[in-house]
């Protein structure tokens, strides 16, 4: 039996966490957070686990767990809600927070091909783009991605989702 050479062993990958922000030109970057039913705010991060930053997973970090962040099926709503989904199928709101503490909804507002454009929606109905920003200030767009033509992309913990959410270059 051959033993692998030391140089053949893969080193553990160090994860790099990218912050999720809402962005509008000439304005301050807004934090994007998961807000639970008690009003507690939790981080949303894109996770880089290799040198390739073209497509990254986006997760909510709540009570030590990494929860999926998805666009869910809309029920008589204009836009697709962006939510984190816990292991019991409970939905956790994803919101942008202004510097003066106002809470803005984050939704999937339009679709181009298989890409759903995410925006934070201000009170005046203006949009903020949703981006992921690395610790060294590179950035990616955060988008919904449809993999199928079906309105229900998948069912996760009992929740019908419309699209996956990824950070893409």
pLDDT score for 9? 59
Under-50 pLDDT residues of the chain: none
pLDDT score for 117? 98
* Residue 119 bridge partners (DSSP): 107, 129
pLDDT score for 75? 84
So where are the chain's domains?
14-168
Residues 6+ apart with CB under 8 A from 43: 33, 34, 60, 61
pLDDT score for 83? 98
pLDDT score for 13? 73
* Residue 72 bridge partners (DSSP): 161
Q: How far apart are CA 122 and CA 52, in angstroms?
A: 33
């Amino acid at each position: 039996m051959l033993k692998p050479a030391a140089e053949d062993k893969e080193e553990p990958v160090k994860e790099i966490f990218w912050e999720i922000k809402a962005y509008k030109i000439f304005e301050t970057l807004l934090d994007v957070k998961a807000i639970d039913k008690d009003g507690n705010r939790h981080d949303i991060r894109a996770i880089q686990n290799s040198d390739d930053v073209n497509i990254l997973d986006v997760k909510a970090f709540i009570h030590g767990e990494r929860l999926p962040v998805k666009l869910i099926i809309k029920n008589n709503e204009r836009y697709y809600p962006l939510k984190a989904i816990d292991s019991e199928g409970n939905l956790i709101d994803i919101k942008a927070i202004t510097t003066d503490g106002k809470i803005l909804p984050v939704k999937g507002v339009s679709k181009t091909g298989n890409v759903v454009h995410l925006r934070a929606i201000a009170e005046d109905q203006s949009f903020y783009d949703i981006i992921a920003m690395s610790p060294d200030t590179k950035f990616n767009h955060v988008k919904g991605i449809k993999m199928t033509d079906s309105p229900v992309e998948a069912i996760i913990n009992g929740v019908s989702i419309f699209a996956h959410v990824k950070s893409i270059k």
